[in-house]
Amino acid sequence: MGVWLVELPSRGRWNGCVWDGAQQSVPEEWQRFSPELALGERWARGGNSFEQSLNDSAGNPVVGPLLGMKRAVWAPIEGDGDREGILMAAWRAGPQALPRAEAESVAADLALALGYQRLEFAAREQARDLAFARQILSEGRGAVNGPEQLRRIVSAGAEQAGVGFICVGHVQNSGKALPAWCGPSPEWAAHLDSGPLAELWRRALITGQMTGCEHPAALPAEGFVRWAALPVRRAGNVLGVLVAGLRPQGCTLATLEGLELRAALAADFLAEWTTEEQKAQYGLEERERVEASPAALVLLDESNAIAAASPSARQLLAAAATGTAIPSFTGLLRNTHAASSWLAAARSGSDTRLFEAELLAGKRIRARTLFQGHGSGGLLLEVTAVETPAGPLRPSERELRALVDWMEQGVVIFGAQRRIAAINRRFSELTGLPYEDVRALASLDELLERFSAVAENPEEAAQHWRELVEHEQGAVREEVRLAKPVARVLERAGRPIQDDSGARTGWLEIYRDVQAGRMFQTRWLQTEKLAGIGQMVSGIAHELSSPLTSILGYTHLLRRGKDGAREEVEMIHREAERAHRMLRQLLESGRETAPQRKAVSVNHLVQRAMELRALGKASHRICVEVDLDPAAPLVEGDEDQILQVVTNLIANAEQAMEASGSFAGTIRVSTRLSEGGGVRLEVADDGPGIPPALMQRIFEPFFTTKPAGVGTGLGLAIVMEIARAHGGQVHAANRSEGGAVFTVELPGTKKAFGSPLMARPAKDPAPASARPALPAVKGRALVVEDEPTVARLIADV
């Protein structure tokens, strides 16, 4: 009996053992086995066990162990679909029936044992890697800062994994200089800097991949068989290279994975060193530049200590500084607290660019940030002396108004006795009060009268506003809610105005529109979400498209038959076609393809819209009158998009009428040949009409006056977008007799497209009976299609 196993990692040679019942010992060379030679063809066929009769072995060479045998059974040992070895049992005077099943079961047991051994080995390797990673993590990253620690990290547990040599080189100066090696003895460091090993790690750096080679003969043997080099990278930057010498037991996939783990850890540490080095370097250059500058520059470190100052800055600040060392910038100033918060704001990149302060010595300075937020945490300031003006500036009221009018925000300035000193145009725009009225207002009381018409809670708001203007001593920032013309929120920032002695002389208010920002944000989130859903939908659409194609194909085939259920099949076919069209639209909207351009009859689309409407709701109390002009030309465009225009406008009209409590109005949809030779589509309703103040805004995306869940504010924006894409325009107006009317003008097509009245859907293909019979052909067609049902359908057809 003999068993031979494929030897790892070189699969050419097999090793095994042979037991002979009649002899005590067997020749040693029987341990080697070459299946191709011994079994030839039969081996190549693989798979099953087989019997061999050795009487007529003329064709086959007989391997040593079979000499003198009569019959043999061979059973392959297979694990994971791979041949792992073979089992042989032979008889000198064979039994009648060979125990082939038994041989197979022993072979299977062996395969199982081998698999288990492999798993155990992998588990051991993994456990070792885990132990290694745990050890590194438990040391804590902060503790590892020197080359010695890095060497310790990468070499921990390496010897057990079959790695006889390991070291990391820190690639500096973008690889122009040799790496600084962590760990190797001087002799090995020399081998790494030049010769075959240097070639190896350079290749790894150039290709960016793990690279390996046989152990070079020129190097001391020391039990190495192979070498591997891995680039140490972080975020696309090469920071170093890891070189490892492997012993025979280290030539496994698990060891290479372990090396990758070590390289990743090394990348962590090298990345930290690199930024530290750069920071130190950067700080030095920056300091030198500041000290050489002719401008008055001060460089502060993160704790606001002065890291460097130019000569003129020193001169400016010197009066307050004791000695040559200036400890802290804020310490030089009278109002330390304000200075610190200004510096913090400057660091965070807020808009605060200028700051005025008084030095302890009494001189006033102005500071400006030049740049901030570098790796060093530094902040570069330019300081200038402020000349105190002879007297306070008193801009005339006219100048004040001009200034205020120019501002982006709404501004109201109150003087004594609630008098309005200035009020600007933006304030009137934000509140929706006409500017002509607003600018004529003289006092808060007059303003409150107007304001009560738009405020959400007029009485309360008025009382609070009076309180602010007359008595508030501090700064306030609050919301002001308006109810008309649409609900919106403004932000009011107010603060008292004081004279030089600190007495309260008035009240200043600045208004901002926060609604727009908020709306935008929530809409944006919604849009993001929609985009996500869109992606999902287009995925689903893609999946559904194959089964639908099959359904369509088979119903198509069935329709030709003379079955009784023809009508039902017809129905299935129509519905499947509809679903298919929807899917195509979904897929196209996902793909953002250009809209289709073909001759479209707007009349036909209005009729389709009416059919859809009839399908949508069981009962309509709102009646729709349709008046189509047969002379209306075709337009060149996308059917589905123009259909959407019609349905959106009808839906809006319906909603407007329902919202006003009228459930019995009339919507009139009409088409006409327009003056320009195109189509003029009108949708008129007798609902409440559009408030004039909103007329300008209704086409804005996301503008809606309807409650959440009803309105998206997209309907008219889409109508506008589609009309424009078709070279047309949309217009909204109120009818003199009440209600709104939307007019869409679309240019007529220049091309001749058959009947101008109505574009008919394509005719069904001629019935089977009308077609010439196909000659009977004998043969085969090969259908290649990745979707099995579609492939079958094609084959059936």
The binding site for ligand ADP (CB under 6 A) comprises 652-653, 656, 685, 687, 689-690, 698, 703-706, 711-717, 740
Least distance in angstroms from the C-beta of 544 to ligand ADP: 29
How many residues can be counted in the chain? 797
Query: What's the CA gap between 471 and 187, in Å, rounded?
Result: 85
Q: Is 275 exposed, middle or buried (0-12, 13-18, 19+ CB in 10 A)?
A: exposed
Least distance in angstroms from the C-beta of 729 to ligand ADP: 16
R_g of the chain, CA atoms, integer Å: 44
Query: What's the CA gap between 75 and 1, in Å, rounded?
Result: 11
φ, ψ dihedrals at 395, nearest 5°: -65, 145
φ, ψ dihedrals at 226, nearest 5°: -140, 160
Amino acid at position 165, single letter: F
Query: What's the CA gap between 103 and 71, in Å, rounded?
Result: 14
Nearer to ligand ADP, 502 or 661 (CB): 661
Query: What's the CA gap between 713 and 695, in Å, rounded?
Result: 14
Count the alpha carbons within 13 Å of 582 in the hemisphere toward its beta carbon. 11
Least distance in angstroms from the C-beta of 648 to ligand ADP: 6
Count the alpha carbons within 13 Å of 369 in the hemisphere toward its beta carbon. 20
Least distance in angstroms from the C-beta of 652 to ligand ADP: 3
Nearer to ligand ADP, 225 or 651 (CB): 651
Least distance in angstroms from the C-beta of 126 to ligand ADP: 58
How many Cβ atoms from other residues are within 10 Å of residue 25's Cβ?
6
- In our burial notation (b when 16+ CB lie closer than 10 A, e otherwise), range 173-186 reads eeeeeebebbbbee
Least distance in angstroms from the C-beta of 607 to ligand ADP: 21
Query: What's the CA gap between 581 and 587, in Å, rounded?
Result: 10
DSSP 3-state of 745: strand
Nearer to ligand ADP, 664 or 768 (CB): 664
Least distance in angstroms from the C-beta of 518 to ligand ADP: 18
Nearer to ligand ADP, 703 or 753 (CB): 703
Which residue's Cβ lies closest to ligand ADP? 715
Nearer to ligand ADP, 627 or 796 (CB): 627
Least distance in angstroms from the C-beta of 609 to ligand ADP: 15
Reported as type and span, the H/E element at residue 425 is helix 425-431
Nearer to ligand ADP, 124 or 735 (CB): 735
Least distance in angstroms from the C-beta of 664 to ligand ADP: 16
Place of tokens 């195509």: 584
Least distance in angstroms from the C-beta of 707 to ligand ADP: 10
How many Cβ atoms from other residues are within 10 Å of residue 504's Cβ?
14
Query: What's the CA gap between 471 and 451, in Å, rounded?
Result: 20
Cite the beta strand spans of 424-535 per DSSP E: 476-482, 488-498, 504-513
Nearer to ligand ADP, 331 or 701 (CB): 701
Least distance in angstroms from the C-beta of 672 to ligand ADP: 19
Least distance in angstroms from the C-beta of 665 to ligand ADP: 11
Least distance in angstroms from the C-beta of 719 to ligand ADP: 7
Nearer to ligand ADP, 577 or 721 (CB): 721
Query: What's the CA gap between 25 and 390, in Å, rounded?
Result: 120
Token pair for 755: 């009947």
Nearer to ligand ADP, 590 or 713 (CB): 713
Nearer to ligand ADP, 336 or 655 (CB): 655
Place of tokens 């409440």: 688
Nearer to ligand ADP, 640 or 685 (CB): 685
Query: What's the CA gap between 2 and 88, in Å, rounded?
Result: 5
Helix locations, 251-395, DSSP H: 253-292, 311-318, 336-347
How many Cβ atoms from other residues are within 10 Å of residue 768's Cβ?
12
Contact call for residues 454 and 437 (beta carbons, < 8 A)? no
Least distance in angstroms from the C-beta of 474 to ligand ADP: 41
Q: Return the DSSP state at 322.
A: -
Token pair for 591: 């793909």
Q: How far apart are the first and last CA of the chain?
A: 60
